[in-house]
């Protein structure tokens, strides 16, 4: 989805409002500029979301252990995803009493895997 362009809010747009409105409009404009720039240039998971990212060395078809610290009390709606592979993936996860999400990931490449395959696993939750 392409973001529509936005026009800065100015006092001249609302001439009947009090003088202090201009200060609020300036603050809002600065914030909207930052948000628009971030959305247009790409947000990073690590800097902008409550997430953990792991880069794992994996072998084709072999279960690889991975662990994440659970930051929220309710991780039922957490998203777990893996990228940088071509094929199928399986996850097997367990929540420990110490609020660690432990488990394994298995990647089965649909094409010959690279020499030293790695995957990026992201846990949002």
* 125 vs 12: which has the higher pLDDT: 12
Distance between CA 98 and CA 105 in Å, rounded?
21
Residue 29's pLDDT is 92
Dump pLDDT digits (tens) for 72-99. 555 544 555 666 666 677 777 777 777 7
Q: What is the pLDDT of residue 27?
A: 92
- The predicted pLDDT at position 77 comes to 44
Q: How far is CA 124 from CA 48, 53, 75, 82, in A?
A: 11, 9, 9, 12
Torsion, CA 72, CA 103, CA 88, CA 74, rounded to 10: -20
Q: Please state the rounded mean pLDDT for residues 65-69.
A: 80
Question: Looking at the predicted structure, is the pLDDT value of residue 4 above 60?
Answer: yes
Report the range of poorest mean pLDDT among 9-18, 47-56, 65-74, 76-85: 76-85
Domain ranges of the chain: 11-41, 46-124
Complete edge-to-edge strand list for the sheet that includes strand 51-57: 51-57, 118-124, 79-83
Burial tier of 19 (Cβ tally within 10 Å: 0-12, 13-18, 19+) = exposed
- pLDDT reported for residue 117: 78
Q: In angstroms, how far is CA 83 from the centroid of its own chain? A: 12
Residue-level pLDDT at 73: 55
Predicted confidence (pLDDT) at residue 34 exceeds the cutoff of 50: yes
């Amino acid at each position: 989805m392409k973001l529509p362009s936005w026009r800065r809010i100015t006092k001249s747009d609302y001439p009947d409002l009090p003088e202090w409105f201009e200060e609020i409009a300036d603050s809002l404009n600065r914030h909207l500029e930052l948000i628009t720039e971030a959305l247009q240039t790409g947000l990073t998971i690590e800097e902008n979301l409550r997430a953990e990212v792991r880069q794992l060395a994996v072998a084709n078809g072999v279960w690889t252990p991975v662990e994440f610290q659970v930051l929220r009390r309710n991780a039922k709606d957490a998203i777990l995803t893996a990228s940088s592979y071509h094929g199928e993936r399986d996850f097997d996860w367990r929540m420990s009493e110490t609020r660690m999400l432990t488990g394994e990931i298995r990647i089965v490449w649909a094409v010959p895997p690279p020499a030293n395959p790695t995957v990026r696993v992201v846990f949002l939750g």
